[in-house]
Amino acid sequence: MVLGLWLALTGPVFASGDVDRAEEIRLTEELRALAQRQAWAGVDRIYRQLDERAAPLEYPELLAGATAARALGDAASARDRLLAAARLNATREVIDSLAAIDTHYGPVELNTTGRGPTILQAEDLPFDPEQRAAIEAARLAVARTGQFRGLLPQGRYVFGGEAFEVRPGIAVRIEVGPRERREERNTP
């Protein structure tokens, strides 16, 4: 009787690792279902949750995460996820996707100091929807936080009145202060 009372009061005992693993399995299944529906924002959200948990990701999840990142304009995260996928299975698809990023994008760091909005403009918008999404994501990041660090498609840009060119493999860092922003607002 004492044993029965003790079991009733304590309930089932699960190891913390079992609960964590069950949640990772649930998230992985949800990621796969969202990927089938091409719900890329959801795939990216779930991928980030799995990544925060340091859950071991398999090739299909890494590939889905890379596809989601590219669709959302985050070429840097897409590249990181593709590299992880290549370590597991260096398929032609993964290698070609990495080569496409490396030959069409360049690393960029944009920062503003002080207050007020600073605008990022592309001289010519590319036709490729993933490249357009990358530019739009950078524009939103700059508008929201005044900063962007990632990959942009090769081309010419203006940030806070400063013209620059993005080329694959060549890092660009632009910092715009209050003076440059003032000049940007006064330009017709």
pLDDT beyond 80 at 18: no
Provide mean pLDDT across the span 27-47.
94
Domain extents for the chain? 16-102, 105-186
- What is the per-residue pLDDT for 20? 80
pLDDT beyond 80 at 88: yes
16-102 CATH fold? 1.25.40
pLDDT beyond 90 at 85: yes
pLDDT beyond 80 at 27: yes
* Sheet with 155-159: strands ordered across: 120-122, 155-159, 162-166
Q: Which residue has the higher pLDDT, 160 or 89?
A: 89
- What is the per-residue pLDDT for 151? 97
Give this prediction's pTM.
0.81
- What is the per-residue pLDDT for 183? 46
* Contacts by residues 96-102 (CB-CB < 8 Å, ≥ 24 positions apart): 97/66, 101/75, 101/151, 102/168, 102/169
Give the pLDDT band (50/70/90) at residue 9: very low
SS3 assignment for the chain? CHHHHHHHHHCCCCCHHHHHHHHHHHHHHHHHHHHHCCCHHHHHHHHHHHHHCCCCCCHHHHHHHHHHHHHCCCHHHHHHHHHHHHHHCCCHHHHHHHHHHHHHEEEEEEEECCCCCCCEEECCCCCCHHHHHHHHHHHHHHHHHCEEEEEEECEEEEECCEEEEEECCECEEEEECHHHHHHHHHCC
Out of 27-31, 45-49, 66-70, 179-183, pick the least confident.
179-183
- What is the per-residue pLDDT for 21? 84
Q: What is the pLDDT of residues 130-187, one digit of tens each?
A: 999 999 999 999 988 889 999 999 999 999 888 999 999 999 999 987 654 444 444 4
Q: Tell me the two tokens of residue 68.
A: 């989601």
Q: Rounded distance, CA 45 to CA 166, Å?
A: 29
- What is the per-residue pLDDT for 118? 81
